[in-house]
Structure 1
């Protein structure tokens, strides 16, 4: 099943459950082949490490998705982020791991409003993945923290297939100047859009 057909086929199941740049190695070119990346756990901070120990960079993800249609990319940022910050056309679906807390508690230390766990994340992600039936799943957030948490949550929920955390995410890590200009999907010059396509938010269908 192609990645586009997987998106279409998975949408009804998701709607029900949500009622609420280093090149890749040659082995990544073939369907079902192992995915080889340049990332190891020892070079990552603890908050970006996962139980599965499977990691990939945004640049590697872009190259992989160009070559294979049996791998899906799940955007786990909040819907507000996808609409206001944008997203890559290569992403299959937005299933947020966390949501903006509607009570808007403010974290003065971090200088931001808090987020809350999305109670529909596990059933929604499992429904999408089961319908799409990919060989592997790439999980991506802003900069690699939430994606690692999402991978661990899905692993704990019994999902048994390769789950890769995209370690630098869509926007990348911060530079010494506090700008997200170090790495990440956008900084790799990969495709990006600010126009949300129909079906990207399955909960809204």
Structure 2
């Protein structure tokens, strides 16, 4: 009985921890399914839904290599591909285009872990924009339980103060969650 009560308490905590009010989500981070987590709540969510949950990073390989990888990740599938042969004058950066192989790369992880389209899937990117776009694409392909980490791995930019323009507001790293620079070749997808 005691073990049941402990499990129930952990489950209720995980369910409460995941609650992000959809009305508080910035427009650019809104997904059609409306399922959101904050980075700090991801570990409890994964534990509460194990083993029938999938945690996928949709950032580029370069981002994982140079910025870091969250612990507990099941796999990586780049939602976008950087193009270093052009410059986007409007955005003052290299352009990123949709990865035409995203869905097939993503589905490798669902097959690997035996995940069904109704099982919980958690997507993370840098700051929550691409994870929402990825969730929308997966929803169009029949996935019904896709959660977007609204503050991502690095978090949002500070709008003012001495750290203005830096990603110090929220996110996986700023929450002090475990991460590493070490890539696991069994958890990344290679593009041609």
Place the TM-score, normalised by the shorter chain, in its bin: 0.7 to 0.9
Task: Give the C-alpha shift of residue 62 in structure 1.
Answer: 2.3
Specify the alignment match of 1:158 in structure 2.
Answer: 142
Identify the residue that residue 75 of structure 2 maps to in structure 1: 93
- Structure 1: which 5+ residue stretches go unaligned? 1-24
Q: What aligned pairs does 1:49-198 form with structure 2 within 5 A after superposition?
A: 49-70=30-51, 71-103=53-85, 105-134=86-115, 135-159=119-143, 161-176=144-159, 177-198=164-185
Shift in Å, 1:138 = 0.2
- Residue of structure 2 equivalent to 1:199: 186
Assess if the C-alpha contact under 8 Å between 1:95 and 1:201 holds in 2. yes
What is the CA–CA distance in structure 2 between the aligned matches of 1:111 and 1:75, rounded to whole Å?
A: 25
Structure 1 residue 116: Cα displacement = 1.2
CA offsets per residue over residues 162-186 of structure 1, 9 Å max, x none? 1000000000001121110000000
**Whole-angstrom CA distance in 2 between matches of 1:28 and 1:79:** 35
TM-score, normalization: structure 2? 0.82
**Residues 35 and 132 (structure 1 numbering): CA distance in 2 closer, same or farther, change over 3 Å?**
farther
Do residues 37 (structure 1) and 21 (structure 2) align? Answer: no
Rg (Cα) greater in structure: 2
Partners in 1 of 2:16 and 2:186 — Cα distance? 28
- Give 1:67 deviation, angstroms: 4.6
Spell out the pairing of 1:7-26 with structure 2 (5 A cutoff).
26=10
- Aligned mates of 1:84, 1:44 — CA distance in 2: 28
- For these two proteins, the number of residue pairs brought into alignment is 175
Determine helix, strand or coil for the equivalent of 1:131: helix
Tell me, which stretches of 5 or more residues in structure 2 are unaligned?
A: 1-8
Kept after mapping to 2: 8 A contact 1:29/1:64: no
